[in-house]
């Protein structure tokens, strides 16, 4: 049973420096690429969280030696992936969408399952693609079984990835190990979170894999080896956004150190969003700093490419002085929970004024009051409740422990940030 967490209220503007753990997106991609390399690889600064631990468990189940020492990970050489194996996906989209294309080159049966909500998340796109490329898969959603034969012919496949960029990334990560390589055509509405596909392509190239993405909505991966390399993982910029939002909503100042000057992480756009809502944003050798105004302004913004930031932006909008429109995020209805319905329910449940549109949310200023903020087993919903609680006394997040999906100890980090709220030692 989960215990309600009383979201602490900020008595003064928040002033702090908050170092965040490594990027989940980079960590799990580096783990997959290291597992596909005959020589393995190492990760420095890797994220330790439920999602990354599930990825490590999945690769170990397939016979890949993985040693974890704090934020350092070593993936050892091996003689090939093998079953029989059972893979627990939990609620990790990267595990349920990235590991099946990898398991397609394993020798033996690989059974996949996950949390109850994971069984509701769309999987047919990637499983049908694997079938078209020569794999034998029983089932269309979790649980399903992939009957590996030790190799996969590969070739060309056309998919509709409008529900998730992870469908494309998962296929591309394994494509070099298919006999004919892989060409993926997307045919449908625009792919959400395209920066995540850019991240995948960039990391494949860093591993020595030839990728051609010159043609829109088409990605070609040449067959060949995946190089052994040492990966340095950037801080998780999306996980940094709740802490930066704390500065924005309280009129304080928060710095996240080691913010990369150039990155493929979608979370980098939080600086532009905060600036549009009236914040002062600076980037320098010390990191990225957000300083909030006396009152945030509303925003009209398309979050199609950065949908994971929606709960943070919605929480900021609920505390702003003007109306906001968040667009381009219909695909969030298929995430850990239906994030659009969840955000409307929780904002209005505290007295706010919000409604769904066809592709997003409308949020208008309204006095908020305390009450229960439901997390829906969704880490980003939980952190959104914490942001609202900074200005609204009496907010209780029903399941703060779900933040362990990507942030190992969010409550302690949040409390530590608030201890500096009067501008003390940084």
Both 243 and 333 in a single domain?
yes
- Specify if 229 maps to a domain: no
* pLDDT for position 108: 97
Residue 149 known to bind ligand: no
Active-site residue, from 12, 215, 308, 396: 308
Note whether 188 and 277 are same-domain residues: no
Cis peptide bond upstream of 84, omega within 30: yes
Q: Are residues 133 and 51 in the same domain?
A: yes
- pLDDT at position 422, please? 40
Residue 49: DSSP 8-state = S
339 has binding-site annotation? yes
Question: 80 to each of 66, 93, 137, 207, 286, how far by Cα in Å?
Answer: 14, 24, 20, 18, 43
Say yes or no: 214 and 190 in one domain.
yes
Assigned domain for 301 exists: yes
Q: Is 23 annotated as a binding residue?
A: no
Residues 6+ apart with CB under 8 A from 166: 93, 94, 97, 98, 126, 196
Model's pTM, two decimal places?
A: 0.88
Range of the domain at 273: 5-21+234-419
State in Å, rounded, how far the first CA of the chain is from the last one: 36
> Residues 382, 408: one domain?
yes
Residue 224 lies in a domain: no
CA 199 to chain CA centroid, nearest Å: 12
Whether 159 and 282 share a structural domain = no
In a domain, 374, yes or no: yes
162 with 132, same domain: the answer is yes
What are the strands, taking DSSP E only, across 122-274? 137-138, 144-149, 155-159, 182-186, 211-212, 218-221, 229-232, 253-256
Instruction: Compute the chain's Rg from CA coordinates.
Output: 21
Does residue 424 sit within a domain?
no
Residue 65 shares a structural domain with residue 197: yes
Residue 96 to residue 413: CA distance in whole angstroms: 29
- Asked if 355 and 269 sit in the same domain, the reply is yes
In the chain, DSSP finds a helix count (H) and a strand count (E) of 12, 23
End-of-domain residue from the set 191, 219, 247: 219
Domain end residue (candidates: 219, 254, 284): 219
What's 55's domain CATH number?
Answer: 3.65.10.10
- Residue 100 exposed, middle or buried by CB count within 10 Å (0-12, 13-18, 19+): buried
Which whole-number Å values give the CA distances from 58 to 79, 131, 233, 320, in the listed order?
A: 17, 21, 20, 42
CB 211 within 8 A of CB 176: no
Q: Is 166 inside a domain boundary? A: yes
11 is in an annotated binding site: no
Domains of the chain: total: 2
**Pair 349, 282 in one domain:** yes
Assigned domain for 136 exists: yes
Contact 29, 265 (CB under 8 A): no
Same domain for 102 and 67: yes
* Residue 233 burial by Cβ neighbours in a 10 Å radius (0-12, 13-18, 19+): buried
The residue out of 196, 219, 242 marking a domain boundary is 219
Q: Which residues contact 273 (CB under 8 A, 6 or more apart)?
A: 299, 301, 309, 313
Is there a single domain that holds both residue 244 and residue 196? no
Local confidence pLDDT in tens for the 426 residues of the chain: 467 999 999 999 999 999 999 999 999 999 999 999 989 999 999 999 999 999 999 999 999 999 999 999 999 999 999 999 999 999 999 999 999 999 999 999 999 999 998 999 889 999 999 999 999 999 999 999 999 999 999 999 999 999 899 999 999 999 999 999 999 999 988 888 899 999 999 999 999 999 999 999 999 999 999 999 999 999 999 999 999 999 999 999 999 999 999 999 999 999 999 999 999 999 999 999 999 999 999 999 999 999 999 999 999 999 999 999 999 999 999 777 899 999 999 999 999 999 999 999 999 999 999 999 999 999 999 999 999 999 999 999 999 999 998 898 999 999 999 998 443 333
Say whether 24 counts as a known binding-site residue: yes
Say whether 327 counts as a known binding-site residue: no
Q: Which of 320, 392, 380 is nearest to 8 (CA)?
A: 392
Q: Are strands 144-149 and 137-138 parallel, antiparallel or unpaired?
A: antiparallel
Is 308 catalytic? The answer is: yes
Structural domain includes residue 191: yes
């Amino acid at each position: 049973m989960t215990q309600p967490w009383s979201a602490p209220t900020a008595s003064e503007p928040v002033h702090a420096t908050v170092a965040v753990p490594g990027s989940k997106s980079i960590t799990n991609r580096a783990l997959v690429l290291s597992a596909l390399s005959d020589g393995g690889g190492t990760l420095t600064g890797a994220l330790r969280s439920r999602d990354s631990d599930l990825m490590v468990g999945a690769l170990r189940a397939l016979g890949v030696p993985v040693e974890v020492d704090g934020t350092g990970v070593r993936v050892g050489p091996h003689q090939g992936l093998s079953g029989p194996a059972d893979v627990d996906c939990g609620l990790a989209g990267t595990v349920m969408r990235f590991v099946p294309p990898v398991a397609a080159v394993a020798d033996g049966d690989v059974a996949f399952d996950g949390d109850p909500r994971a069984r509701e998340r769309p999987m047919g796109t990637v499983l049908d693609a694997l079938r078209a490329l020569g794999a034998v898969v029983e089932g269309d959603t979790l649980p399903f079984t992939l009957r590996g034969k030790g190799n996969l012919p590969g070739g060309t496949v056309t998919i509709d990835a409008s529900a998730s960029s992870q469908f494309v990334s998962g296929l591309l990560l394994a494509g070099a190990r298919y006999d004919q390589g892989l060409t993926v055509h997307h045919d449908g509405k625009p792919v959400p979170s395209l920066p995540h596909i850019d991240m995948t392509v960039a990391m494949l190239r860093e591993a020595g894999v030839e990728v051609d993405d010159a043609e829109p909505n088409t990605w070609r991966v040449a067959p060949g080896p995946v190089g052994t390399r040492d990966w340095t993982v950037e801080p998780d910029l999306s996980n940094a956004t709740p802490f930066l939002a704390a500065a924005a909503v309280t009129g304080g100042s928060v710095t996240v150190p080691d913010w990369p000057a150039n990155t493929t992480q979608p979370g980098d756009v939080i600086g532009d969003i905060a600036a549009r809502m009236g914040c002062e944003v600076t980037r320098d050798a010390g990191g990225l700093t957000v300083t909030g105004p006396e009152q945030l302004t509303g925003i009209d913004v398309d979050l199609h490419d950065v949908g994971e930031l929606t709960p943070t932006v919605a929480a900021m909008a609920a505390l702003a002085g003007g109306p906001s429109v968040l667009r381009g995020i219909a695909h969030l209805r298929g995430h850990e929970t239906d994030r659009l319905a969840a955000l409307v329910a929780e904002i209005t449940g505290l007295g706010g004024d919000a409604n769904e549109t066809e592709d997003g949310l409308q949020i208008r200023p309204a006095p908020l009051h305390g009450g229960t903020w439901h997390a829906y087993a969704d880490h980003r919903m939980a952190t959104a409740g914490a942001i609202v609680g900074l200005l609204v006394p009496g907010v209780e997040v029903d399941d703060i422990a779900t933040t362990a999906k990507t942030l190992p100890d969010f409550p302690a980090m949040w409390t530590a940030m608030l201890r500096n709220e009067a501008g003390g030692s940084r």
